[in-house]
Structures are given as C-alpha cells and as structure tokens.
Copies of this chain bind each other. A is one copy, B any other.
Amino acid sequence: MHLYTADYVVTQNDGRDVIEQGAILVQDSKIQCVGHTDMLEIMYPDAPRTDLGRAVIMPGLVNSHTHVPMSLYRGFSDDKALMDWLTQDIFPAEAKLTPEMVETGALFSFAEMIRTGTTACFDMYMHSDAVFRAADKMGIRAVIGENITQFFPNLAFADMPAYRELVAAQAEKWRNHPRLRQAIVPHAPYTTNPDLLRELRALADDHGAIFGMHLAETRAETEGCLKDHGMRPVPYAHSLGLLQPDSTFFHCVTVDEEDISLLAEGRCAVVHNPASNMKLASGVAPVEKMIAGRVDVALGTDGPASNNAQNMFRDMYLASLLHKVDSLSPTACPAALALDMATRGGSAALHDPLIGSLEPGMRADFIALDLTTPNMQPVHHIVSNLVYAATGMENRLTVVDGKVLYQDGKFTTCDYAALCTEIKERAAFFA
C-alpha cells in the first residue's frame, strides 16, 4: 500500500467532494481509502508515503476519442479545407504507414498523455496491433480498435476474412488484460455500408468488444446520409441496431432533438471533440442539450493531426469556452461540467465503471498537478483553476492501475530520449 497526500484532493465522487489537506491510499491497483490526511495517517501509520505538498490530486483525465499514431503528423498539414487536408496530405501520408511507424507514433502520444495528466483513452486507427503493443508497454489504460472501411484492401488487412482473423487474434491475445480492451470501430457511416455495419455490430457481440464509430461529425456527412439512406446519421445507425449500451459515438456535431432521444434511449455514450471540431470547422456539438437529454458525454482530443496535442486540459478549457460563445451565454458549460466530461464522462465512453473518480474500490488512476506555477495561484476555487487556468504541463505525477508512469520529469515505462530520436526519424519520412 502507498499513501499520497497533497493540499487538495478533487474526488469527482457523486458529491464532487474536494478535500483540503487530503490523501488517497492505494492498495495494489485500487484505491482503498480517500480522506483527510490527518485521518489517513492515523488509519495507516505504516504506509509508505509520497507527500506532494502544494499540489492537487485528481482522477486521471480520460481522452475518449483519438488516433494516437498520428503524432507522426503533428503540424504536417494545417489550415486547409477538410477534403484538401485529407486527400492532399493525410491520406497519402497514411498510405505509407508501417506497423513500426504506428507503434512509434502511439508510444509518443502515450508519452504526451502521461506527461499531461491523461490516464486512459479510446483509440481507433490502422495497424492497431502496434497500438496495443505500445499501450501495453507504456502502462496507460486504453480501449483500442482497428479502423475499418468498405474500401478493401484496408491498410492492415486485405479483405473481410483477414479483418475477422485480425480481430479474433486481438480478442484472444488481449482478453483479461488489466488495462487494455478491444473495440470494433467502423470508420463512419459514409465509408461503410449497411451490411458491413450489421456484421461489425455482430462481431462486437461475439467478442464482447466495445463498439465505436465517428457519427454526425459534419453537415456534409448528414447531407450525404440523407441522400444515400434517406435518414440522418443517428437514425441510420439506429436502423442498423448500432445504438446499444456498449456503444460510443465520436463527435455527434450535427444532431437534432430526435437524434438525441435515440442516443439516450440506446444508452450510448457520445464523445465531444472541441479542438478538432473548431480546427476543422466542423461546427459545435449541442453538448448541453445532449446532457439534458440524458446522454453521457465524454471529451476527446481527436488525433494529433487535427488538434495538435494530446492534452485534455486544453480540451476541457476549449469545451467550456466554445459553448459559452456559441450560445452567447457565460453560464454555459461551467468548469465543473467540463471536468465531469473529462473524468466521469470518460468512464461512460470507455464503458469502465471503475474509472473517473477517486473513491474506495475504484482503479488507482490519478494525477497530481503542481500548484506553485503562477497560473495556478491564488486558489479561490480549485476546479476553476483546473479548467480555466491549468495548461496540463503542471502535472507532476501520473499513476495508472496503482503504478507510477511519470513523476517530476521522469517517465518510468519508456526511454524518453530514445523515443524522441525515433519520432524525429520516423516523421522525417513524411517531410
């Protein structure tokens, strides 16, 4: 067991308790106790202790939608119209990808996440075996899926039999892993067809995998879906039986009230990606309407080619500001809601009830932010400082499953300097 103490513990429990001079006791991979430091000192006098001092302990943030290998393309192409960006720059670059490149990109994004306070993510990309390997090595928690479209060959497999084989082998290999879980992730309605989507839904059931998909990301997608299927994207997904409680849909920008009702009835989770939706000019997802409609909403960065970071503190801040200016209401998306989306919402989107808050019995996934940087002082309301002032670089400690992955400048699961050399060499391939 190990005791961590700090000036503040932000629990994100049901009461959203914030404990001044707080502590958490970790036993193996779980949290055993959360409370005032003086009480936990009495209860566990012999526990080894890390006193973080002027810091705030909080749940690790959950990045519920990303494409981690794309760190290779950070800053490779910006400020272009979506179709130019994809067809001129991103797709040609992706066609050159090897599993080795994907693994390096994934390792590097995981390093960025671990550095900036993210402890879990939901990833979808190509050559996902390499993403599994990278996540296993780095110690982060992840839901991982192999992106699939109807345009065969896909990058990592030639046809459906090869895809089924890939998915079955992954299910076999990673079943019962303490941190990693498989997802079945068709790319989007406009890159698949009804038969393929029905088959993938069945495959998720067969493997007990989470189901995820980009959905209703842009107005163009909605127009295309209406033209091709006579339905908006959400009713289309509903008509194929895709709206299930094990499902997570990414973006959901162009959803109306009927769409929201369908998502709520299906008990699906939705992931909001403010940075990506702003940078690619996709629009503004009706986050507060979805939440009012009883849809669980999480937060994601999207990939490093459209963000261009994997830093959830920035996305919490953006979410809060975007919805205020969009609704012309300064009371929209308050700090507490942004923090909820990045923690408790992540529990819903990753379909893991044991993450998202610091409580006895929950997984020991937490971080600790330094409160001695100028932007974090004074502390009138700690949650305000976390959402409106923190950059993410204040993070000093990242623990996943009870294991320290980063502390005060040192990564414990990678040779960071070697990884920097590797990403530079691999990225040079695309220059």
A contact residues vs B (CB 8 Å cutoff): 71-76, 78-82, 85, 108-109, 111-112, 115-116, 275, 277-284, 307-311, 314, 317-318, 320-322, 324-325, 327-332, 334-335, 372-375, 377-382, 384-385, 388-389, 391-394, 420, 423-424, 426-428, 430-431
Q: How far is the CA of A78 from the CA of B337 in the complex (A)?
A: 13
- Are A377 and B108 also in contact (CB < 8 A) when A384-B78, A391-B311 are? yes
Instruction: For A78, give its contact among B72, B283, B310, B335 (CB under 8 Å).
Output: B335
The answer on a CB contact under 8 Å between A281 and B327 is: yes
The answer on a CB contact under 8 Å between A75 and B380 is: yes
Copies held by the complex: 2
The answer on a CB contact under 8 Å between B80 and A379 is: no
Instruction: List B contacts of A373 (CB < 8 A).
Output: 115, 393
Instruction: List B contacts of A72 (CB < 8 A).
Output: 378
The answer on a CB contact under 8 Å between B423 and A377 is: yes
- Are A385 and B75 also in contact (CB < 8 A) when A311-B391, A330-B81, A372-B420 are? yes
Distance in angstroms from A347 CB to nearest chain B CB is: 24
Instruction: List B contacts of A331 (CB < 8 A).
Output: 79-81
Instruction: For A283, give its contact among B73, B318, B325, B379 (CB under 8 Å).
Output: B325
Instruction: List B contacts of A426 (CB < 8 A).
Output: 378
Q: How far is the CA of A379 from the CA of B80 in the complex (A)?
A: 18
The answer on a CB contact under 8 Å between B389 and A392 is: no
Kindly list 8 other residue pairs between chains A and B, CB separation below 8 angstroms, not including A74-B375, A75-B381, A279-B330. Answer: A71-B378, A79-B330, A80-B330, A281-B329, A283-B325, A308-B385, A311-B391, A322-B325
Q: How far is the CA of A80 from the CA of B384 in the complex (A)?
A: 13
The answer on a CB contact under 8 Å between B424 and A377 is: yes
Q: How far is the CA of A372 from the CA of B108 in the complex (A)?
A: 12
- Are A424 and B378 also in contact (CB < 8 A) when A79-B331, A279-B321 are? yes
Instruction: For A108, give its contact among B80, B318, B374 (CB under 8 Å).
Output: B374
Query: When A and B form their complex, which 3 residue pairs have the shortest distance between CB atoms, in order from nearest?
Result: A378-B427, A75-B384, A112-B374
